[in-house]
Structure 1
Amino acid sequence: MAEIKNELTAKFAADFKDNKKQQVVQNAVTKNGISNSAENLAAQSNNVPVFSIDLKTGNVANQKQSGRCWMFAALNTFRHKILDHFDLKDFELSQNYTNFWDKYEKSNYFYENILATADQEVTSRKVAFLLATPQQDGGQWDMMVSLFNKYGVVPKAAMPESSNSSNSRDLNNYLNKKLRKDAATLRQLVADGASESDIQTKRETMLQEVYNLLAISLGTPPTVFDFEYRDEEKEYHIDRDLTPKSFYDKYVGVDLDNYVSIINAPTEDKPYNKSYTVEMLGNVVGGKQVKYLNADMESFKKLAIAQLEQGESVWFGCDVGQSSNRQGGIMALDVYDMNELFDVDFTTTKAQRLDYGESLMTHAMVLTGVDIVDGKSTKWKVENSWGDKVGDKGFFVASDAWMDEYTYQIVVRKDLLTDEQLAAYEKEPTVLAPWDPMGALA
């Protein structure tokens, strides 16, 4: 092993001290911070929030201190349709309602995987992977589809936010404590040769406790409710005795079977025009399989543009923290000049970042616009879910180059795919390992 000699460190210190530029940079960075010192003001003028295609949306939502971006993004795509179809100025669907059922179903999905791996040592990679995070706030589009198909949706007024949905740290902490304890109990039952009936009885007791914990923390999901609103013309409407499923059918009405997930993962292990799934990834036992078609970036963006051109917003997943100015709402490769600041080349390829753990999907948002110049996309309008105090009243701008490097997934209608793409998607998917970066939860 190569030890660091004190003489070598002394040489480094002397070289640093003799570099006047680095001395000036040191003063700036220690006083102002890394990002503030590296901010490139030209990125603002290069990413003005004006777009040739710009869909009508309501005010942005706010997920607050929770990781429910995938949920907010999906419900926002529905909200856009409701605002348009029913002439509403603003409206939100209940993220708390969907969050309740997601955590309930994820708990059962965890039990299923724990029992399926009960013959493996607790130190095995799969069991260790399950126990590291039994459940969390994040998710994938197809997991959301499973929830909508089973539980429908409700207006936010029917199940408002709670303290623990808006700030989910304590709820996740104690739910995961319980699930890990339950995992130990279930694995011991299997080791002791307990009958399937006894295991199922114990599992139902555990699920009752999960339901109780969630109901105490988030509130009880409504089964029947009234929906009342005033439209833009101030006309009053009321629809009584709706169920979450009947509300979805009447007010959302999206056929979720018509939508597919497209990813861009340019790594050697994932050839383009092939379908993929991820082992042990899901939330609803018996629900929709998480499935993707891997496409090159040109095809990927072409599909997103086609859906926007037809007046429909696009759910997408990205690595939001990379080259991103949160307060300014700009995501661009030149938003910070870190190479010049540190005199270090941080450049890597998208494939390298995925393979070496530098990047993966961390956040889901909605594409609501794009600027097309000479037939090419130059920048994209992004509806975030961080409230209206960041960006342009909550909307961000992503440069086209940033989209190329840090966007990993979009959800589009099947009819926009070519026959070749659709055929590739419909084939039996290659199963990726549970820890593959394409299994990341937004």
Structure 2
Amino acid sequence: MAKEITAQDIAGYQDVVAHTPKSGALQNTVMKNGILASSENMASQVAMDPVFSVEIDTGSVANQKQSGRCWMFAALNTMRHPIQSQYKLKGFELSQNYTNFWDKFEKSNWFYENIITTAALPLGDRKVDFLLATPQQDGGQWDMLMALIEKYGVVPKSVMPETYNSSKSNELNATLNLKLRADAVELRKIINEGADDTQVQDTKDKMLSEVYRILVYSLGNPPTKFDWEYKNDDGEYTRDTELTPQTFFRKYVGWNTPDYISIINSPTDDKPYKHDYTVEFLGNVVGGRQVRHFNLDIDTFKELAVKQLQAGETVWFGSDVGKSSERQKGIMDTDFYHVDDLFDVDLSMTKAQRLDYGESLMTHAMVLTGVDLVNGKPTKWKVENSWGDKVGEKGYFVMSDKWFDQFVYQVVINKKFLSADLKQAFEAEFDQPKVLAPWDPMGALAL
């Protein structure tokens, strides 16, 4: 039977506060300064000194500005780092706007196809509601960017620079989502009235043509062929002509994209380790690369990241950046705030409990560019963010190893760093990964 709060209950709670030592001083501090500032632990700043035994020089950071494209920026950053070094191009960037254009175009088609697939389900069905809640957005996953690159290639930022709408995406997102929802009304209507496949696809094609026009006006025309000219850090001039986005990728990035795979650490009971997972409705390119996650224990998870850094390769990773994190100082540390001590309450939860109970999921992607090893074990990590150089140490953050354990959920690793048994386990379920529900936390998009 439900129990209401009585006046006697409130009197008891008031008495507890009144008899808490230094309650008045703590109340004044929290009211004036806020919870986080009042619970800040200065010792954390000392421990997070930005010195690392393994460090890759990656130059100046990029800036996603007022958009949710961190996953895109982080992935393109891992690709630009070798180009910067090999061709002596300080500050070089790949075009985030180019991949953004094709992502939004492909996401629109992805949405239409899912609306067509679920047209027989009633409004109010959880899956239909899930699709309509956010028809498309800026966020994404590693495999989603690989799907774009495998189809469309990449270009230098100078070839397709940022626009108002790529850097400040709220107007474009609102316009696209309005259109996609309006189109969903029409698609569901004609399907449920008996339209055949040809009629449905013709209707969808007209809708996609309109989406394309919106994107061209907002983001610019994506190049199909271009010339690239640059001066390197030594002042030497180069001009490379008649490039396509695909030939540019092959020549200057040169990755075999299937070699790079998503490794997750999700210690929940529903996801046994050494198994592959995918997420229903998660993706962008119809017919393209599937989002797949290989779940490993935290020690193996970290060992792989260290191996890749030691080999001179940076590491894309996804985490819950807002937890125990100080943006301006650029510190991510579970000891940075002692909110539990401030209020004298137990706020402890395990990583699995936070995932299961909605307290945490992946929200942001960044790049590991260094690690500090003491007796072979990581103590802190160097992180390249994409929030510009006004936060952290010129845009770089320091992450404690304890924070990594609790709030890092995904790393992207070249398969060559997997042991033989891990490779075998990964390949065993390659064509039949377990399908997770659309709302599973491992389906969260990095923004």
Structure 2-normalised TM-score?
A: 0.98
Hey, what's the Cα distance between the residues in 2 that align with 1:165 and 1:88?
24
Tell me the amino acid that sits aligned with residue 441 of structure 2. P
Q: Percent identity?
A: 60
- Indicate the residue corresponding to 1:43 in structure 2: 44
Q: Report 1:16-27 matches (<5 A).
A: 16-27=17-28
Moved more, 98-107 or 215-224: 215-224
Q: Is the contact made by 1:69 and 1:385 (CA closer than 8 Å) also made in structure 2?
A: yes
Cα distance in 2 between the residues matched to 1:23 and 1:101: 57
Matched, 1:433 2:441: no
How many residue pairs match? The answer is 442
CA contact (8 A) 1:65 1:167 kept: yes
Which residue in 2 is equivalent to 1:313? 314
Tell me the secondary structure at the aligned position of residue 189 of structure 2.
Answer: helix
Distance (whole Å) between structure 2 residues aligned to residue 72 and residue 258 of structure 1: 20
- Give 1:385's aligned residue: 386
Alignment of 1:4-403 (within 5 A): 4-403=5-404
- 1:58–1:91 contact (8 Å) kept in structure 2: no
Residue identity matched to 2:268: T
What is the deviation of 1:6? 2.1
Q: Which amino acid aligns with 2:445?
A: L
Q: Distance in 1 between matches of 2:151 and 2:229?
A: 24
Q: CA deviation at 1:20?
A: 4.5
Q: Give me the whole-angstrom Cα distance separating, in 2, the residues matched to 1:216 and 1:158.
A: 17
Cα distance, 1:285 vs structure 2: 0.1
The amino acid of 2:241's aligned partner reads R
Q: Distance in 2 between matches of 1:180 and 1:147?
A: 24
Question: For 1:196-235, what per-residue CA distance to the aligned partner results, in whole angstroms no more than 9, with x for missing partners?
Answer: 1111111011001111111111111111222111112111
Distance 1:62 1:192 in 2: 48
Q: State the 1:385 CA deviation.
A: 0.2
SS at match of 1:158: coil
CA distance in 2, matches of 1:125, 1:223: 40
Deviations 1:257-295 (CA, angstroms, capped at 9, x unpaired): 111110000000000011111111100000001111100
Q: Flag structure 1 segments of 5+ consecutive residues without an equivalent.
A: none
Distance in 2 (alpha carbons) for counterparts of 1:358 and 1:14: 31
3-state SS in 1 of match to 2:158: helix
Rounded to whole Å, the distance in 2 between the matches of 1:266 and 1:22 is 38
Separation (CA, whole Å) in 1 of partners of 2:364 and 2:59: 21
1:401-428 deviation per Cα after TM superposition (whole angstroms, max 9, x unaligned): 1000000000011111112211222212
Cα drift, residue 241 of structure 1: 2.1
Please report the TM-score for the alignment, with normalisation by the length of structure 1: 0.99
Partner of 1:404, secondary structure, is helix
Q: Partners in 2 of 1:22 and 1:423 — Cα distance?
A: 58
Hey, what's the Cα distance between the residues in 2 that align with 1:285 and 1:134?
Answer: 15
Amino acid at match of 1:440: A
**Code of the aligned partner of 2:410:** Q
The one-letter amino acid of 1:395's match is: Y
Which amino acid is 1:85 matched to? Answer: Q
> CA–CA distance in 2 between the matches of 1:58 and 1:244?
24
Q: Deviations over 1:127-181 (max 9, x none)?
A: 0100011111010111010000111111111111111111111111111111111
Which is further off, 15-24 or 236-245? 15-24
Aligned-partner residue type, residue 384 of structure 1: N
Q: Is the 8 A contact 1:292 1:425 kept in 2?
A: no
**Amino acid aligned to 2:83:** I
> Could you tell me how far apart the structure 2 residues matched to 1:100 and 1:296 are?
36
Letter of the 1:439 counterpart: G
Contact residue 293 and residue 424 of structure 1 kept, 8 A = no
Inter-partner Cα distance in structure 2 for 1:173 and 1:377: 43
Partner Cα distance (2:238, 2:405) in 1: 45
* Structural RMSD (CA): 0.9
Give 1:223's aligned amino acid.
T
- Aligned partners of 1:182 and 1:206 also within 8 Å: yes
Q: Which blocks of at least 5 consecutive residues in structure 2 are unaligned?
A: none
Q: Secondary structure at the match of 1:382?
A: strand
